[in-house]
Amino acid sequence: MSKQVTVEVPEYAAEMFGGDDARFSREMFEAAIVQWYDEGRISSGKGAEMLELSRAEFLDLLFRHKVSPFQYTPEKLAEELNRD
């Protein structure tokens, strides 16, 4: 199930994509999902699902946006490394 929402943006924003509203909309949605992943609000599995991508395609998207696929804080990483 999906829901359509309307977002108002300056006209020139879509022009950055040659006036292709569908492409602009997709790029905005991808950017939002990548940001939510980076903030730890969603998992990579959920991000892939929302964008209808495979897990590998989602990881490639993260790479293109220069976002690490690892969601570890320094504390959590230290905890993982110190486990018996």
pTM of model > 0.75 = yes
Residues 6+ apart with CB under 8 A from 63: 69
Domain containing 49 equals 13-81
| Helix orientation angle between 21-38 and 44-51, rounded to the nearest 10 degrees | 170
- Counting Cα atoms < 13 Å in the Cβ hemisphere of 23 gives 8
Q: Is residue 49 part of a domain?
A: yes
Q: Is residue 25 part of a domain?
A: yes
pLDDT tens per residue across span 15-60: 888 888 899 999 999 999 999 999 999 999 999 999 999 999 999 9
Contact 40, 67 (CB under 8 A): no
Q: Is residue 8 part of a domain?
A: no
How many domains is the chain partitioned into structurally?
1
Look at residue 84 and tell me whether its pLDDT is greater than 70.
Answer: no
Q: Is residue 24 part of a domain?
A: yes
